[in-house]
Structure 1
Amino acid sequence: MTFLKEHSFNWKRSQCEPADELVEASGRVCYMSFGDGRQSDKTNKEYVKHLIDQGHESVLEHINWTFIVSGVSRAFTHQLVRHRVGFAYSQLSQQYHDESEACFVVPPSIRCCPKTFSKWQESIENNLTLYKKLIYEVNNDELLCHSSKKERLRDLRSASRSVLPNATETKIVITANARALRHFFTMRGALEGDWEMREVSCELFQIVSKEAPAAFQDFIIKEMPNNSRKLVKL
């Protein structure tokens, strides 16, 4: 590193992933703790754990991930986007995308009960049928005929989407830093009453823990009695 050479520092580096090394380097810059007489014998994992234990988590904001998440419900994303600090989102728009062929996410508690699932499925199909009908009827509304093609399309989809359920499948791009993800995992990863939050938390954790194991070393996935998973902070 040019910075180290310019300051004549000899950084005793331990073997670790690049993301975790960036966290360590950021922490060491705060104290200029590089080289002989300034640096402890802690490994990267131990050093990052010490930063986390001390609440010095701002250094975790230097590492970021971008995910494309699909197969989730809009009910899930309504909750997800409440996490603002350290997150950025870009979601599929129902104003610009025709949902006539939409898929729907079935909660496990409904899927496992045949009678309940049958009623749920009937309701979903009725809503989708109504959506398609509204698309046609609103499209033929005389009041909209004087609008531009772009605004007419926006208007008819905005009106028609009002009947679509929270179970409608969506896609969303998420960018988040490690500190924000740690907070998200802590708040959402073990919610017993929200299977989708737990499942997405586990999936994201499996990705980031491979690329930055030291930054997420105090989390673990556990199996639940119903064969689902939860992400627990140790």
Structure 2
Amino acid sequence: MSSHALPLGMYAWPKNGLQEKKRDMLYNRDFLLLHYPKTADKSVAVYFCQNFEKPIYGRVSQGQVAEIGMGPDEGVELEVAGSHDNYAAATKVLKEKDIDITALRALLLPVRNPYDLVVSNYFFLRASYEKSPSVRNRPNFQLAARSTFPEFCAQSNMADFANFMPPAADSATLPVELIHFENLAGSQSAILKKYGMQESYPLPHLNSSKRPRNIASMYDEASKLHVDQKMDSMFRIGGYEKIL
């Protein structure tokens, strides 16, 4: 699936926001994969490295290096980096490597129903706070651990997904392919087929989150309104209705 681009504004990662982590930026000579938090980044990153043409380069967290499990001998060169790579950051990184981002065949962006995404993130942060002392000084983990879900929705600043999209000046030449979390395998298989590639490895399912399956039960009217407003760009770009 493709989406129309939106104007780009520089993005600042919030102090109390979605999962504070290093986001995937993977690319080869034809494709760039960027990740918004909690959109199956591990599974999609491994799938990209297994199925897309080598060499593949990336900026990932230390943990992701182990999860991907591939190195230079397999044509995958990964850099451990702590930046939060949206479209502006990716453009800068690629420019430093003499790569014109608009000359790529496509930008790949995973998306997820925002109501489900925020619930998943809330439980991830709470679980991480309990089991990992190293994250307990981070404001967003503290917020989730000490708040009810409605309080979390009210106080958490959420990254604007529009900042992962190309600006209007680039959108005419750089197609965007959305990878829907709700159909990860199908979305990615369709992208490979569309661009004349074959799927060599199936989608792995890594670190599925533990959360209530009835996400509607987590929301009251106020918390739904917070998510509707703060995640508006993902609703709009991903084609999700604001209905629980």
Question: Considering the TM-score relative to the shorter chain, is it more than 0.5?
Answer: no
Higher relative contact order (CA 8 A, sep 6+): 2
TM-score (norm 2): 0.25
When you count helix as a share of all residues, which structure comes out higher?
Answer: 1
Give TM-score scaled by structure 1 length: 0.25
